[in-house]
Amino acid sequence: MLARVALFMLMAVGLAGFGVVAWVNLHPASPPPPTEAAAPNDKVPLLTAARPMRAGTLLKPEDLAVEQRAAKDVPAGARIDTEAARSELLGALIRRNLAKGEVMLSADALNPGDRGFLAAVLGSGMRAVTVGVDAVSGLSGLVWPGDRVDLILTQSQDGSDVPPSRRVSGETVLHDVRVLAIDRQLIQGATSESPESQAARTVTLEVTPADAERVVVAAKLGHLSLSVVAVAQAAASSDTTPSSLRPGNGVTWGGDVSSALRRGPGTDGTTVRLFQGPAESKEIHF
């Protein structure tokens, strides 16, 4: 008896299953509504050059403009105007000359961090050299990549035979050189990861091969500091003149700054007469 009941139950379950399958086959799920494709004449915002730019330019926010173009006229690789696209282009290197209004393509920019970026930033025949700075000599973090600076060397000379007015000197080692990077930042406006790292520790400069040697030697001689060059003066400087031959390479002595050192014994403007016997004497000027 129990076996018959169990058999009837199994047959009922099987028939119910077949019924569900049949109902599903007779009532298929409705297909999703078709998506509307972008019409060829729909406008797409594209990033373009806001001004003529030469190859090697580092992009700034004001270098980018927007142009509305029909979807059918968008070139391959064009950058659509989005916040992410603008952020990615900040500080990127332009690989080719761009005319005003020309569309920015993906292949036109080399981003910081990409292999070969620093070498591509350098001008023809130029070198990159790094100097150590602190909060004072590095102008309190107010120097950015792309600024132009003078490199000033101060050094001290100790010794009893050195007049006080000549024991400290300062001179411009390099004049009007371009800043390539601050620490590892090659983008103007980049922020540090922590407050402790906000003070710059190194500055990378673009110099000639001969000037690179001067910087290395100067770093061994004394303390290096930066002095920012005015934009108008930087624009007037000749890029073909070695920075070591440009104006501003005179020496400033401690006695030139402090009149107290000049008045002290054995300083500039002091004459000592040395007697060697009753008839022979000579003057020593300091």
Q: How many CB atoms lie within 10 A of CB 198?
A: 13
DSSP alpha helices (H): ranges in the chain?
A: 2-26, 83-89, 117-121, 209-221, 231-236, 254-257, 259-263
For 262-286, b/e burial (b = at least 16 CB within 10 A) is beeeebbeeeeeeeeeeeeeeeeeb
Q: CB–CB of 218/142 below 8 Å?
A: no
Give pLDDT tens digits for 130-155.
998 877 656 556 777 778 899 999 99
Burial class (CB in 10 A: 0-12, 13-18, 19+), 18: exposed
pLDDT at residue 196, as a whole number: 45
Dist CA 127 CA 125 (whole Å): 7
pLDDT at residue 175, as a whole number: 92
Dist CA 286 CA 284 (whole Å): 7
Q: Which residues pair with 273 in a beta bridge?
A: 283
Segments of the chain assigned to CATH 3.90.1210.10: 43-117
Distances (CA, A) of 254 to 164, 166, 249, 270: 8, 6, 16, 15
Dist CA 195 CA 180 (whole Å): 22
* 21: its two tokens: 């399958």
pLDDT at residue 193, as a whole number: 45
Strand 64-70 relative to strand 43-49, pairing = antiparallel
* 44: its two tokens: 């797409």
Q: How many CB atoms lie within 10 A of CB 30?
A: 6
Give pLDDT tens digits for 208-265.
999 999 999 999 999 999 888 887 665 555 444 555 544 455 888 888 888 887 765 5
**CA R_g for the chain:** 36
Of 268, 265, 284, 264, nearest in space to 276 by CA = 284
Backbone angles phi, psi at 46, to 5 degrees: -115, 145
Q: CB–CB of 146/179 below 8 Å?
A: yes
Distances (CA, A) of 152 to 166, 234, 249, 251, 276: 17, 17, 9, 10, 43
The conformation of residue 59, written as its DSSP 8-state character, comes to P
Length of the chain: 286
Q: Which residues pair with 168 in a beta bridge?
A: 156
pLDDT at residue 249, as a whole number: 55
pLDDT at residue 221, as a whole number: 92
**Which residue in this structure is represented by tokens 């990033």?**
47
CATH class of 43-117: alpha beta
Burial class (CB in 10 A: 0-12, 13-18, 19+), 151: buried
Q: How high is the mean pLDDT in each 10-residue block of the chain (286 residues)? A: 62 62 57 54 89 83 91 89 88 85 88 73 85 70 80 87 84 90 63 49 90 94 89 55 54 83 58 63 59
pLDDT at residue 35, as a whole number: 45
pLDDT at residue 213, as a whole number: 95
